[in-house]
Structure 1
Amino acid sequence: MNLPIVKVAAVHAAPVYMDAAATVSKAVALIEEAARHGAELVAFPESFVPGFPVWAALWAPIYNHDWFRRMVSNSILVNGPEMAQIQGAARRNGVFVSLGFSESTEVSVGCIWNSNVIVGDDGAILNHHRKLVPTFYEKMVWAAGDGHGLRVSDTRIGRLGALICGENTNPLARYSLAAQGEQIHISAWPAIWPTRMPSSGMNFDNLAANRIRAGGHSFEAKVFGILNAGFMDKTMFDALAASGDHQAVEVLENTPRAATQFLDPTGAVIGDTLQAEEGIAYATFDLNDCIEPKQFHDIVGYYNRFDIFNVEIDRRRLAPVKFSPDNANAKAEPRGDRIGIADPTSIDVA
């Protein structure tokens, strides 16, 4: 067996905060830059387009209506013109792209999801995943996703899988990808994730928590990991601090920053690490290194008890309505790829 050796890039960059068009233009430029440096896979952080809703952590919902409207108006369709620009950049540069984005839908003006796509080097969308459960204050922004995107994409550079932020805390979500032969796992994270006032000394440590979860998956599944975090620049900081709320400024200034780094199949850090500065991190993955650790414990092979543990994943795409064929208005039914008509396929990894 001779598996690929691939150079990967992780974008540790800030969006043009709450500006989808400008952020997509920035993403295209970053894809081109990474491709010039030999990357074959370019990954972006959680909700890179149009930015992570940190404001939901800073203020109660009754103060966030304007922020929510701004977020909704800058969320994008998976089959819209902004995504087409990302697909075009992937195709022109012959690279694979993993993009975190806030997804809108044509069937509601206010429903958005925390989503991720993997785009092929031919520009086709290989997988489209919606975060299963928005975490903590994210519930006030995004709707819950479904299992449709719990898929691994089999490509010329390896089998690619991705989960969003706290999903990497869910053993069953991670196992669903491992059980499909995943070899490169992309975990996408925000720049900061406040949970308490910094003065309490008990805030959520992005650096440690993300490293533990991503490292655990690399070690358990014997896969390479791209731990891809966002970055908060001055523009984003100033936008969030513009209210003059001193407590909000304290949170923004002193909440631990997340890091972007890479992991080998033992969970060890390899390649570049970025935390305090914006840029693109690079690493080289020799997928042949996934083989030897499987001798020790292959959780989707011999090192399991499928006679005891039975796991079934429902991958139907949830939809708000089902139209019967004999309905007089059936011809007005929105396209399935826009509203997520149920996909009957499912996998039984047991």
Structure 2
Amino acid sequence: MEFKKFKAATVQTAPVYLKVSATVDKAVNCIKEAHQNGATLIAFPEVFIAGYPYWNWIMTPVQGSTWYEKLYRNAVAIDDPEMQPLYQAAREFNMHIVIGINERGLSYGEIYNTNLIIDNQGTVIGRHRKLVPTWAEKLTWSSGDGSTLKVYDTAVGPLGTLACGENTNTLARFTLLSQGELVHIANYISLPVAPPDYDMAEAIKIRAAAHSFEGKLFTIVSCSTISQEIKDALRGDVPNIDALLDRKSSAFSGFIGPNGAVIGTPLIDEEGIVYADIDLSKCIQPKQMHDILGHYNRFDIFDLRVNIAPTRKITFVENNEKET
């Protein structure tokens, strides 16, 4: 049996706010840099293309409605021409990519918080739509369904992903673990407007460590930052924007090993790309103590059922009975 070894990269930076092509170009530059440093997997933040709806937290819903339209106008479909440079970069630089997008739904005005899984041939092999938008995010995104709660077989190993707060969802995480996940991508946004006693960076680390320790796997965390450009864009509607979005310890990006410990030095708030060497054979020994997918569980007692059918918005029924 082959135990894969590879170098992974994770990005902590801000998008070019509400500008799809410019953000894709920024992502391609990161991919090129990661390739030059020997990486074959790179993780990008939640909804990196092309930005997070911060207005939901700092404006009234009425004020934020014009920003919702701006976000929708900068939402993308997987096959949009603006997305093609990303897929070309995956092929050219032999890179597996997990990246967050604002995905246009089929209904006009509908947006999903989606993570794309792109293989090193430039093929979108999967997408995960965030199951439950968190708190104020419900003003923006539709909910995903169980059909995108999958683990993908890739050249770097069995790979799964969850976005931000759903990394606290025990059943969602177990669903990925039960499919053999060994590499987990958890991507986030910086959220300085959290309650005063909430350390966002520490909370991200705790969630990642919990998943790695419970499942005995590697977790790669990518978090966005808030740029001056983002603050300046929102300043006209929120004059005290700096006081709201300048809080420290709001972003964490890095790597967690199968023992739940941080690998290397993570990025806290600062922008950059960090790397780690991943050896999936390190997932074996910890399973002897706690294998919640095998000997350390009781499936005769516990029974988790997951509905993986896509949501059906309408069912047409035809009455074929003949009238007499």
TM-score in terms of structure 1 length: 0.87
How many residue pairs match? The answer is: 319
Question: Do the aligned partners of 1:57 and 1:195 also contact (CA within 8 Å) in 2?
Answer: no
Q: Quick one: structure 1 residues 215 and 293, their matched pair in 2 at CA, closer, same or farther if it must change by over 3 Å?
A: same
Q: In 1, distance between residues paired with 2:138 and 2:208?
A: 23
Q: Quick one: structure 1 residues 323 and 43, their matched pair in 2 at CA, closer, same or farther if it must change by over 3 Å?
A: farther
Shift of 1:318: 1.9
The answer to whether residue 257 in structure 2 is matched with residue 258 in structure 1 is no
Q: In 2, distance between residues paired with 1:325 and 1:15?
A: 48
Give the SS at the match of 1:257.
Answer: coil
Give the SS at the match of 1:313.
Answer: coil
Shift of 1:87: 1.5
Q: What are the within-5 Å matches in structure 2 for residues 164-243 of structure 1?
A: 164-196=163-195, 201-202=196-197, 204-243=198-237
Give the SS at the match of 1:108.
Answer: coil
Q: In 2, distance between residues paired with 1:144 and 1:60?
A: 22
Question: Do the aligned partners of 1:259 and 1:274 also contact (CA within 8 Å) in 2?
Answer: yes
Match of 1:331 in 2: none
Q: What are the within-5 Å matches in structure 2 for residues 331-350 of structure 1?
A: none
Q: Quick one: structure 1 residues 110 and 27, their matched pair in 2 at CA, closer, same or farther if it must change by over 3 Å?
A: same
Q: In 2, distance between residues paired with 1:135 and 1:205?
A: 17
- Structure 1 residue runs of 5 or longer lacking an equivalent are 327-350
Match of 1:146 in 2: 145
In the alignment, residue 34 of structure 1 is paired with which amino acid?
Answer: A
Q: Quick one: structure 1 residues 280 and 161, their matched pair in 2 at CA, closer, same or farther if it must change by over 3 Å?
A: same
Q: In 2, distance between residues paired with 1:110 and 1:63?
A: 17
Q: In 2, distance between residues paired with 1:287 and 1:17?
A: 36
Question: Do the aligned partners of 2:226 and 2:245 also contact (CA within 8 Å) in 1?
Answer: no
In the alignment, residue 301 of structure 1 is paired with which amino acid?
Answer: G
Q: In 2, distance between residues paired with 1:235 and 1:325?
A: 54
In the alignment, residue 46 of structure 2 is paired with which amino acid?
Answer: E
Question: Do the aligned partners of 1:160 and 1:182 also contact (CA within 8 Å) in 2?
Answer: yes
Match of 1:249 in 2: 242
Q: Quick one: structure 1 residues 280 and 305, their matched pair in 2 at CA, closer, same or farther if it must change by over 3 Å?
A: same
Match of 1:347 in 2: none
Shift of 1:193: 4.9
The answer to whether residue 280 in structure 2 is matched with residue 270 in structure 1 is no
Match of 1:310 in 2: 303
Shift of 1:115: 0.4
Match of 1:74 in 2: 74
Q: In 2, distance between residues paired with 1:323 and 1:79?
A: 28
Deviations 1:92-120 (A, max 9, x none): 11110001111002x32211000001101
Q: What are the within-5 Å matches in structure 2 for residues 92-111 of structure 1?
A: 92-105=92-105, 107-111=106-110
Shift of 1:237: 2.1
Question: Do the aligned partners of 2:257 and 2:263 also contact (CA within 8 Å) in 1?
Answer: yes
Shift of 1:23: 0.7
- Structure 2 residue runs of 5 or longer lacking an equivalent are 320-324
Deviations 1:202-255 (A, max 9, x none): 3x3211111111100000000011011111121122222233522x33111226
In the alignment, residue 130 of structure 1 is paired with which amino acid?
Answer: R
Deviates more, 1:316-325 or 1:218-227: 316-325
In the alignment, residue 310 of structure 1 is paired with which amino acid?
Answer: D
Of all paired residues, the percent bearing the same amino acid is: 41
In the alignment, residue 117 of structure 1 is paired with which amino acid?
Answer: L
Question: Do the aligned partners of 1:192 and 1:256 also contact (CA within 8 Å) in 2?
Answer: no
RMSD: 1.7
Match of 1:120 in 2: 119
Match of 2:48 in 1: 48
Match of 1:129 in 2: 128
Give the SS at the match of 1:271.
Answer: strand
Question: Do the aligned partners of 1:54 and 1:193 also contact (CA within 8 Å) in 2?
Answer: no
Q: In 2, distance between residues paired with 1:193 and 1:223?
A: 29
Q: What are the within-5 Å matches in structure 2 for residues 323-338 of structure 1?
A: none
Q: In 2, distance between residues paired with 1:141 and 1:255?
A: 26
Give the SS at the match of 1:262.
Answer: strand
Shift of 1:324: 7.3
Question: Do the aligned partners of 2:9 and 2:275 also contact (CA within 8 Å) in 1?
Answer: yes
Match of 2:322 in 1: none
Match of 2:287 in 1: 294
Q: Quick one: structure 1 residues 193 and 132, their matched pair in 2 at CA, closer, same or farther if it must change by over 3 Å?
A: farther
Give the SS at the match of 1:243.
Answer: coil
Question: Do the aligned partners of 2:220 and 2:255 also contact (CA within 8 Å) in 1?
Answer: yes
Match of 1:60 in 2: 60
Q: In 1, distance between residues paired with 2:294 and 2:231?
A: 47
Q: In 1, distance between residues paired with 2:278 and 2:17?
A: 32
Match of 1:332 in 2: none
Deviations 1:284-318 (A, max 9, x none): 11111000000001011111000011111111222
Deviations 1:5-45 (A, max 9, x none): 11000011110011112111111111111111111001100
In the alignment, residue 160 of structure 2 is paired with which amino acid?
Answer: G
